[in-house]
Amino acid sequence: MEKFSDIYKRAVERKGSEKMLKLLLAKPLSTKQLVTLSDDDWLEEFTRKVFQSGFYWSVINSKWAGFREVFWDFSVEKLLMMPPDILEQKASDERIVRNYKKVKTITDNAYMIHEVAEQHGSFSEFIANWPSEDIIGLWAYLKKHGARLGGNTGPYALRALGKDTFLLSRDVESYLRAHKIIDGGLQTKKSLNAAQAFFNELQQQSGLSMQELSLIVAYGVGDNRVGISQQL
């Protein structure tokens, strides 16, 4: 395994200077900041990421005002009281991307968020207090209890709202495979554990967040034309 100092040096070289690299890095929210997010915020971001999966992000973003109108600003309380026939009607509304299977995840994930909030005070408390050194455990929870939040969907939603997490972007995956840290399927338990152990070790060496470390690894490999989805 490479030392963090070597990975960091390569990223600095590829970005031209340490100053330039630092400009590209971003820190996650603190625990205090995370707990101020509403349950509705989480439902909205989960829904956004579910719909962005398999679609051009620009298409989803251009229709997002419509999504907010149709789904009452993603109010968990209101959506949980919505009859199934109303959901079907909303799924065919021209203001959104009409895909019933994905629309159904809204109420499914609203129910998950509500159940977690009942046990932990709020969904944000649950997320904020989950340790980043076992972030793959949180990914697994979202995959098991949520709807269509497996793969990179759940992790990208967490990153978007400020939870500290590394991401298995194409550049990060490329690095992990090149250095024999993973050698099988990306989402297997073995690969995920190996990736978590790798980032835990980097964190011990650097004191940086998982988010910063993930970006530094990504900026040190590939062609470095990192898109918005990889920088989130």
For 129-159, what is each residue's pLDDT tens digit? 999 999 999 999 999 999 999 999 999 999 9
Residue 224: pLDDT over 90: no
What radius of gyration do the chain's Cα atoms show? 19
The closest alpha carbon to 65, from 84, 93, 38, 26, belongs to 93
Beta strands in 111-195 (DSSP E): none
Is-contact 145 111, C-beta < 8 A? no
- Residues 197-222, mean pLDDT to the nearest whole number: 96
For 6-33, how does the pLDDT look when each residue is reduced to its tens digit (9 = 90+)? 999 999 999 999 999 999 999 999 999 9
228: pLDDT strictly greater than 50:
no
- Overall pTM surpassing 0.85 (yes/no): yes
With 0-12 CB in 10 A as exposed, 13-18 as middle and 19+ as buried, what is 190?
Answer: exposed
pLDDT of 232 reads: 40
Q: What mean pLDDT value characterizes the chain?
A: 95
For every residue of 21-58, DSSP letters joined together read HHHH--PPPPHHHHTTS-HHHHHHHHHHHHHHTTS-HH
Residues 114, 184 contacting (CB under 8 angstroms)? no
Report the alpha-carbon distance of residue 12 to residue 19 in Å, rounded: 8
The pLDDT assigned to 225 comes to 46
Q: What is the mean pLDDT of residues 99-116?
A: 98
pLDDT tens, position by position, 45-104 = 999 999 999 999 999 999 999 999 999 999 999 999 999 999 999 999 999 999 999 999
- Pairwise CA distance, residues 115 & 123, whole Å: 9
> Are 219 and 226 spatial neighbours (Cβ–Cβ below 8 Å)?
yes
| Token couple for 23 | 């400009």
3-state class (DSSP) for residue 177: helix
